[in-house]
Amino acid sequence: MAQSQFENRLFINNEFVDAKSKSTFPVFNPATEVLVTEVAQAGELDVNDAVDAATKAFTTWKEVPVTQRAPLFAKLAELIRRDADELWTLEQVAMGRTYSFSRFEIMGTAGLFDMYASAGMYVQGKSSLNTPGMVALTLKQPFGVVAAIIPWNVSLIMFALKVAPAIAAGNCIVIKSSEKSPLGCLKLGELIKEAGFPPGVVNIVSGFGHITGKLMAEHMNIRKIAFTGSVATGKKVMQMAAGSNLKNVTLELGGKSPAIIFADADLERAVHAVEFSIHHNSGQHCQANSRVFVEESVMDKFIERFSALMRSRKVGDPAEKDTFHGPQCDKGQRDRIVSLLESGKKSGELVMGGVSTTVNGKGYYIEPTIFKNVPDGAAISREEVFGPVVVVNSFKTEDEALARANDTEYGLFGK
């Protein structure tokens, strides 16, 4: 697709519109470092328009029976599957999505809309006869206008995870895509309209967190906001929500997830599970097993097989369908990881990788990296790297492994 073919406007009230802010931001291909397009940056007037559209839509959407909503969800899921290749291309040029991971993402995105198609049937209240002579009823009602701020690493799945349950419950939503990967989400706006959702039910704005995200978190007419991203930004969202209208907040923040492998484990299965967890999507997901604890007696055997599998994966241009390991999402992310790698080299033993690389002289790539024998207090062991970087340490007892695995400030995932 040529640069002029990419939809780069805001999706408000079922129409693509230019930003009233007149501002744009660039999107670069992380594999080629070439400018892809300039995307509209939503300002205050734009966010207000999106909230107004959602407010108007809510008056009727909340009354639509589930039996009439469900076919819209099913149609959207069908359209997502139909346009899978285009969605892959949009994610590929914006943040380096590989074809193999895109297949999984499309399946998950469409599947979520299928799953939530009838979810409204199960939004039920409670009744109680605990007080003699009285019936107490607890009713569940939609918030109204809700908002979501999603990350760049799995934009389409995150879009579905936020949008599908919100509108299934009768809410209308304003969702901000990441400035690093806005193109696939804008395509979903086109499909939402084609599926038949009424104007204003879903509104998509693009922009930086400190501008557009801040406006949403502080907006007095947004009743709930959901955010997925870093701990630092999550704290700011909570503060802004509290400082405005005390809107309800849902946060999904970082992970430094452990895997524990005992001597009697099926080592081949363990190696493949851990390698896929840390390596797919170039390690850019919050549930990646970035800390691995291996029982001492099988540590060397595990490292040997684990490193061989990581080396076997193709690092390449995500436009090539057989590429497994694509670039990091942008230069800033690549540089941050390089800094952590240098810190890791001072803390533990480097087994493989540990440097940035390029493909055909271009791109923001990190070689798949394994450290071992790293102190639990080292930065590479404690901070979320968000890249293909793993720390493998040995343990002697189950109690030791559990204590060390749980010694983290992060709360996502573990196995």
Which residues partner with 352 through β-bridges? 370
Phi, psi of 261 (to 5 degrees): -120, 115
Distance between CA atoms of 325 and 227, rounded to whole angstroms?
27
399: which 2 tokens? 């109690």
Handedness of CA 186, 151, 344, 297 (dihedral sign): negative
Per the listing, tokens 């790698």 go with 341
**Amino acid, single-letter form, for residue 308:** A
Q: Where would I find the beta strands (DSSP E) of 70-160?
A: 126-128, 136-138, 145-149
Distance between CA atoms of 310 and 315, rounded to whole angstroms?
10
DSSP string for residues in 287-333: T---EEEEEGGGHHHHHHHHHHHHHHSPB--TTSTT--B---SSHHH
38 torsion bin: left (phi>0), alpha (psi -120 to 50), beta (else): beta
Q: Let me know how many helices (H) and strands (E) the chain has, helices first.
A: 13, 18
Per the listing, tokens 């946060």 go with 251
From 91, 172, 275, 286, active-site residue? 286
96: which 2 tokens? 């380096």
Half-sphere exposure of residue 375: CA atoms within 13 angstroms, side-chain side: 7
Which residues, other chains included, contact 309 with Cβ-Cβ below 8 Å and sequence gap of 6+?
271, 272, 275
Distance between CA atoms of 181 and 177, rounded to whole angstroms?
7
Name the maximum alpha-carbon separation found in the chain. 79
b (16+ CB within 10 A) / e for 11-35: bbbbebeebbbebbbebbbbbbeee
Q: Where would I find the beta strands (DSSP E) of 236-317?
A: 248-252, 258-261, 291-295
Active site residue 286: yes
The answer to whether the CB of 251 falls within 8 A of the CB of 378 is: no
In terms of DSSP H, where are the helices of 99-252?
A: 99-116, 155-168, 183-195, 214-217, 231-243
From 218, 252, 275, 384, active-site residue? 252
Indicate which residues carry an active-site annotation: 252, 286
